Amino acid sequence: MNAFQSLGRHLQDWSGDNRARAAIAETVARLAETAVQVSGLIAQGPMAGELHAVVGGNAAGDEQKELDLRAHALFVAALKSAPVAVLGSEESETALILQDDAPLAVAIDPLDGSSNIDTNVSIGTIFSILPMAGVGEGRGETVFQQAGSNQLAAGFVIYGPQTALVLTLGQGTHIFTLDRESSVFLLTCANVQIPKGRREYAINASNYRHWDEPVQAYVDDCISGAEGPRGENFNMRWIASLVAEAFRVLVRGGIFLYPRDNRPGYQHGRLRLVYEANPIAFVVEQAGGAATDGEHRILDLIPTELHQRVPLAFGSSDKVDRVARYHTDRHSIGERSPLFGRRSLFRT
């Protein structure tokens, strides 16, 4: 265990005597400490109460579970003692003002994947740290109307068989694993690079009939396997937990897709740009991958509201580039083999 650097030491080495970095480091530390509490709560399962019970609905239009609210309350309490001026959370309709003169803003999904709470599937926390400087007079929700490329740090915690913190401070992506004996996160994988050439894709195929043609074409090509345009066989994965999907992509490669579709409420995508897509995109890009809404780099988008939804595809850059090409150059769809462009397991 002594061979692994602690998160605290990592943050201290990175921040040094730089006051701006020290504020970021302190905020990451508060988030990590709270994640340890949430991890312990989740590990208790039913002994901690009916964590999966529906207790209401949030501003994003999703059901709120008991664990959603308990995690939200823990993170709010922790960040009140951090150098954070404004907190935007999935579980709060409007941004929360924590301090008047602090230099940072935090956007957070306190409990991602809450539909899986009662099934013992990995769930998590996603966070983004942004600067308050340069946002004019706005001290509330307007601070989140800046491109994801402005993020100072981002990451997620996955509460699974191991509790792991995936973090980027803009200098690579690193994985810290929770040592349960000491309640300390230890650096177990530095400078993660998403493997290339892996033949896996993750998407909810039950929605095939609702997708736009470029997404249908991409999945058709994967399904047609070695006999199709891609010339190789693919495996499909779908966990319905964004943090679990992202962790798998970081470790094993491949691509994750959650596209827009023509169902009511899904025309603009379903994931949230500010506190889901942006931090995941930052982590993925720092690991050598890419993230797109189909037509634009995720980190170039300018949010117009805290809970804005967006289509999202991320993973190995070659696969993400292909998805983007199918969206922006429809001729590339027509150039695919006609035998496999018209038929698949989903279309006859």
Is beta strand 255-258 parallel, antiparallel or unpaired with respect to 200-202? parallel
**Active site residue: 7, 41, 66, 68, which one?**
68
The residue annotated as part of the active site, out of 276, 285, 301, 312, is 276
200 classed as catalytic: no
Q: In a 10 Å sphere around its CB, with 0-12 CB exposed, 13-18 middle and 19+ buried, how is residue 249 labelled?
A: buried
* Burial bucket for residue 243 (CB in 10 Å: 0-12, 13-18, 19+): buried
In the set 74, 98, 109, 187, the catalytic residue is: 109
Phi and psi torsions of 259, nearest 5°: -80, 170
> Smallest Cα–Cα separation from 256: which of 234, 238, 272?
238
**Is residue 179 flagged as an active site residue?**
no
Catalytic residue among 62, 118, 212, 305: 62
Task: Give one DSSP letter per residue of 252-273, joined into a string.
Answer: H--EEEE--BSSTT-BTBSEEI
Catalytic residue among 66, 91, 221, 293: 91
Both tokens of 329, joined, read 């150059």
Q: Is 13 a catalytic residue?
A: no
Q: Which of the following is catalytic: 51, 87, 90, 221? A: 90
Which SS3 state, helix, strand or coil, does residue 293 take?
coil
Q: Which residue in the list 41, 87, 98, 111 is annotated as catalytic?
A: 111
Catalytic residue (choose from 41, 66, 98, 112): 112
Is 112 assigned a catalytic role?
yes
Q: For the chain, how big is the Rg over CA atoms in Å?
A: 20
Q: Rounded distance, CA 167 to CA 29, Å?
A: 11
90 is catalytic: yes
d(Cα 224, Cα 243) in Å, to the nearest integer?
28
Question: Would you call 109 a catalytic residue per the annotation?
Answer: yes
> How many other CB atoms are there within 10 angstroms of residue 154's CB atom?
27
Q: Which two tokens stand for residue 235?
A: 């495996």
Torsions phi, psi for 277 (to 5 deg): -65, -45
* Dist. CA 9–CA 146, nearest whole Å: 30
> Is 329 assigned a catalytic role?
no
Per the annotation, the verdict on 321 as an active-site residue is no
The residues annotated as belonging to the active site are 62, 68, 90-91, 109, 111-112, 276
